[in-house]
């Protein structure tokens, strides 16, 4: 039909296409009544109708019938193959696990080769000794090697330097290589590099501020530090990048303190300015003074006490004083 001169003016393009698993011909919309058949689709512009001519209707049915029979035959073959393998299901499970382990081993070997990795010495002295270590995710032709020693003569290492000097990359390199060694992977470093298998590796690196949780950069850092101090042990590696950065040192709000995991206890202030109070805690314990100023938002109270024969103002916490009974 598409090559017939008598039908050429009706056809939009001399192609046969498929719509709804049926062979159709693109017909110009103005000639829709000239071709007897079933409309399966219309172009977005509405200028082309995809029509299945009546003359090929039975052929399309036959093709679809053959497809159904083919799917049924495939299902039978798969069922027969499954029945043949079923008696050996346990052996196949073992083979599957062996193949998975072999694939994992070869993948580690391939990765080790790509990063020029070495097998580090695993020590039991809680020491890290990385020689010309390289960050595994930086191009090995561009990365600057670092050497880090920790745990032998000191257990804390403070890294200082200008911006873009590599301080954060050094922290990440130590952390990643420690994780790699603990996972049984070779590390990109020189021979004789040594690592301890830490019980936990904690890191506070980058900006974890959360708009959803109303956490600023500073408070998110503090939240991480609190969690680290609660979970750490003598067998932990802790990596902290620019502790307390992100904002000016202003007091945390009560909501931020609660999100960091602390509970805020309400202090009952039953005294007022010019009342006599007794100091019950701190270096001025047992002194008696007069309240000059109360700041409940900052939990502070200014008290005038007598020291060496003169009146001296001191700033105290609300919890450090009580009203004289």
Does the CA dihedral 28-33-38-40 come out positive or negative?
positive
pLDDT of residue 134: 94
* 184 lies in the same domain as 285: no
CB–CB of 9/23 below 8 Å? no
Angstrom distance (rounded) from CA 54 to CA 119: 73
pLDDT of residue 212: 45
Domain that holds residue 149: 121-258
Judge whether 267 lies within some domain: no
Of 220 and 108, which is predicted with more confidence? 108
Angstrom distance (rounded) from CA 112 to CA 118: 7
pLDDT of residue 185: 93
Question: How sure is the predictor about 181, in pLDDT bands with cuts at 50, 70 and 90?
Answer: very high
Judge whether 97 lies within some domain: no
CB–CB of 138/205 below 8 Å? no
* 129 lies in the same domain as 242: yes
Judge whether 269 lies within some domain: no
Q: Which of 38-52, 98-112, 246-260, 274-288 has the lowest mean pLDDT?
A: 246-260
Angstrom distance (rounded) from CA 35 to CA 41: 15
291 phi-psi bin (left φ>0, alpha ψ -120 to 50, beta other)? beta
Of 4 and 166, which is predicted with more confidence? 166
CATH number at residue 292: 2.30.30.30
* 221 lies in the same domain as 303: no
Question: How sure is the predictor about 195, in pLDDT bands with cuts at 50, 70 and 90?
Answer: very high
Judge whether 60 lies within some domain: yes
pLDDT in tens, 254-287: 676 666 666 666 777 888 899 999 999 888 888 8
CATH number at residue 173: 3.40.50.300
* 78 lies in the same domain as 156: no
CB–CB of 244/221 below 8 Å? yes
What is the pLDDT of the chain when averaged over all its residues? 85
How many CA within 13 A on the CB side of residue 173? 25
Question: How many structural domains comprise the chain?
Answer: 3
Angstrom distance (rounded) from CA 300 to CA 17: 82
pLDDT in tens, 196-248: 999 999 988 875 544 444 455 666 777 778 888 888 888 999 998 877 665 55
For residue 293, pLDDT over 80 is answered with yes
Judge whether 208 lies within some domain: yes
Element (H, E) at 134: none
Judge whether 107 lies within some domain: no
* 298 lies in the same domain as 241: no
pLDDT of residue 243: 72
Angstrom distance (rounded) from CA 79 to CA 197: 49
* 71 lies in the same domain as 134: no
For residue 307, pLDDT over 80 is answered with no
* 136 lies in the same domain as 233: yes
Per-residue burial over 290-324, b = 16 or more CB atoms within 10 Å of its CB, e = otherwise: bbeebeeeebebebebeeeeeeeebebebebbbee
Query: pTM for the full model?
Result: 0.53
pLDDT of residue 262: 66
The alpha carbon of 225 is separated from its chain's Cα centroid by a whole number of angstroms, namely 18
Judge whether 217 lies within some domain: yes
| Domain end point (choices 72, 87, 102) | 87
The C-alpha torsion from 52 through 57 and 63 to 65, rounded to 10°, is 120
* 39 lies in the same domain as 129: no
Judge whether 109 lies within some domain: no
Question: How sure is the predictor about 5, in pLDDT bands with cuts at 50, 70 and 90?
Answer: low
* 285 lies in the same domain as 252: no
Question: How sure is the predictor about 306, in pLDDT bands with cuts at 50, 70 and 90?
Answer: confident
- What are the DSSP calls for 82-112, one per residue? HHHHGGGHHHHHHHHHHHHHHHHHHHHHHHH
What are the backbone dihedrals phi and psi of residue 167, each rounded to the nearest 5 degrees, phi first? -65, -50
* 181 lies in the same domain as 282: no
Of 193 and 251, which is predicted with more confidence? 193
Question: How sure is the predictor about 51, in pLDDT bands with cuts at 50, 70 and 90?
Answer: confident
* 164 lies in the same domain as 51: no
């Amino acid at each position: 039909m598409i090559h017939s001169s008598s039908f050429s003016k009706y056809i939009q393009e001399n192609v046969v296409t498929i719509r709804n698993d049926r062979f159709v011909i693109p017909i110009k919309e103005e000639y829709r009544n000239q071709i007897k058949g079933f409309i399966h689709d219309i172009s977005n512009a509405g200028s082309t109708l995809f029509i299945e001519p009546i003359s090929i209707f039975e052929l399309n049915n036959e093709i679809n019938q053959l497809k159904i029979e083919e799917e049924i035959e495939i299902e039978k073959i798969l069922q027969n193959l499954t029945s043949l393998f079923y008696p050996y299901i346990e052996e196949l499970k073992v083979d599957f696990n062996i193949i998975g382990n072999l694939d994992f081993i070869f993948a580690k070997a391939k990765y080790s080769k790509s990063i020029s990795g070495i097998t580090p010495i695993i020590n039991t002295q809680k020491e890290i000794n990385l020689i010309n270590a390289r960050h595994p995710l930086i191009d090995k032709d561009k990365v600057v090697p670092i050497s880090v020693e920790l745990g032998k003569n000191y257990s804390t290492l403070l890294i200082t330097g200008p911006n873009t000097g590599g301080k954060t990359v050094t922290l990440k390199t130590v952390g990643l290589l420690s994780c790699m060694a603990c996972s049984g992977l070779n590390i990109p470093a020189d021979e004789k590099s040594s690592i301890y298998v830490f019980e936990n590796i904690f890191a506070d690196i980058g900006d974890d501020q959360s708009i959803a949780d109303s956490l600023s950069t500073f408070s998110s850092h503090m939240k991480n530090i609190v969690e680290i101090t609660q979970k750490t042990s003598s067998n932990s590696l802790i990596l902290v990048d620019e502790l307390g950065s992100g904002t000016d040192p202003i007091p945390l709000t009560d909501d931020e303190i609660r999100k960091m995991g602390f509970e805020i206890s309400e202090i009952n202030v039953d005294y007022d300015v010019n009342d006599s109070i007794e100091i019950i805690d701190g270096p001025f314990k047992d002194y008696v003074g007069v309240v000059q100023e109360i700041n409940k938002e900052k939990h502070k109270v200014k008290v005038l006490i007598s020291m060496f024969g003169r009146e001296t103002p001191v700033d105290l916490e609300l919890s450090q004083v009580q009203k004289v009974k």
